[in-house]
Amino acid sequence: MTTSIDEKFDVTSLGLVNNHAYTLLNIIKINGIKLFKLRNPWGRGEWKGKWNDNDNDNWTQDIKEQLNVVNSDDGIFYIEWDDYVK
């Protein structure tokens, strides 16, 4: 499945590309939080908001290990449902 961002929303400051498609890799519910695992087909450029690779306020080492989160600009990122809907 794919998803995209409408060009009327400016999300470039959050690391996303307007009018661009992303691959939906998975939807995970962990500790009551629904996360979407997305991939930028360019293989680079990721979400900079809550649950980004460097978000130490939300990721725990245990959750990172469970979901195989890699801190790398590989185009794969997680975004929480509430942020995705916005």
- The model's pLDDT over 58-67, given as tens digits with 9 standing for 90+, comes to 999 999 999 9
User: Is the per-residue pLDDT at 23 higher than 80?
Assistant: yes
State the pTM of this model: 0.89
CATH of region 2-85: 3.90.70.10
Q: Which residues contact 45 (CB under 8 A, 6 or more apart)?
A: 15, 16, 17, 73, 75
Distance from C-alpha of 69 to C-alpha of 6, rounded to nearest angstrom: 27
Distance from C-alpha of 64 to C-alpha of 16, rounded to nearest angstrom: 22
Q: Encoding tokens for residue 43?
A: 């293989």
- The model's pLDDT over 35-47, given as tens digits with 9 standing for 90+, comes to 999 999 999 999 9
Segment 18-22 mean pLDDT: 89
- pLDDT given at position 62: 92
Where do the structural domains in the chain lie, given as residue ranges? Answer: 2-85
**25 contacts 39 by C-beta, under 8 angstroms:** yes
